[in-house]
Structure 1
Amino acid sequence: MSKDNIVIREITKADDKQLAKVIRHVLLEFGVPKVGTAYADAALDCMMETYNNAKAIYFVIDADGAIIGGAGIAPLEGAEGAVCELQKMYFLPEARGTGLGRKMMQTCLEAAKNLGYKQCYLETLPYMTAATKLYKKTGFRALKGPLGNTGHYSCNVWMIIDL
């Protein structure tokens, strides 16, 4: 896989099946519970439709037509103020450790600013250590409890960044 053929771009309808497969594969790889996490989200099978609104956006990593990861921004349900949520940031092994995570974070946070958000929230699991390290490097700080109403009650690491 050549880095020259890898792009971060907005999701299209044609990406939905591949992306759902990527996300479920990564969640199973890490032993994430199938309930109370993104695994159970109905949105996984219709990501283009889910993020097709004025306050949300989803990006995929396209490697010569193969989707190898993605992440998105959407309003944090149940939150007060201009708070978005970094959602469904998952990469296949071939995308990890390549700098794509850092590029994806920059892309998502810049999009969040452009959409008018003032803070970005995320939830993860304690054993997603590489992701948590990236979040901290990006400037996210730990919270003592969850914000909003994501429905991901199995996620017990909560973080936020001011944009």
Structure 2
Amino acid sequence: MGHYKSNVRDLEFNLFELLGIDKVLETGAYGDLDADTVREMLSEIRRLAEGPLAESFADADRNPPVFDPETHSVTLPDSFKKSYKALEDGEWAKVGVSEELGGLAAPSSVTWALNEMVLGSNPAAQMYAAGAGFAQVLYNNGTDEQKKWAAAISERNWGATMVLTEPDA
């Protein structure tokens, strides 16, 4: 067992008993997404978070990415690649992203319940997979040209990173 243990019961309490998300889903505003599907999604992301994602956390933390300036490439630990692939294969980063960008429309509270488990188990994997979410921001606020970039980001499953430009960062 890894370092991470999720609390799906607490998430379900907040989503269904406190926020009444099932009533929101019943309106059809999120297509075919219903309460049973959300519960299944929570269960599956829990399995992923406690298993494949958590398994690479310590290794990836102890063996960070290495940039090779000659080849302009970055090497990641194999364990992290496996975890990231599991996250990407399930298209979890596209939950809450508009259908125009190939996502699954979902209430923000559902998206963040899923993200909470991924962030808790492996924050680096969550950040790498955040490209579709960033593409959504660009799509919502960008120019027509930038909306094309957003579509490419989402379509090609580009990841995300943080580039700090402050000299003392």
Where relative contact order (Cα < 8 A, 6+ residues apart) is larger, the structure is 1
TM range (shorter): 0.3 to 0.5
Larger Rg: 2
* Structure number with higher helix proportion: 2
- Structure with greater proportional strand content: 1
Instruction: Please give the TM-score of this superposition, normalised by the length of structure 2.
Output: 0.33
TM normalised by structure 1 equals 0.33
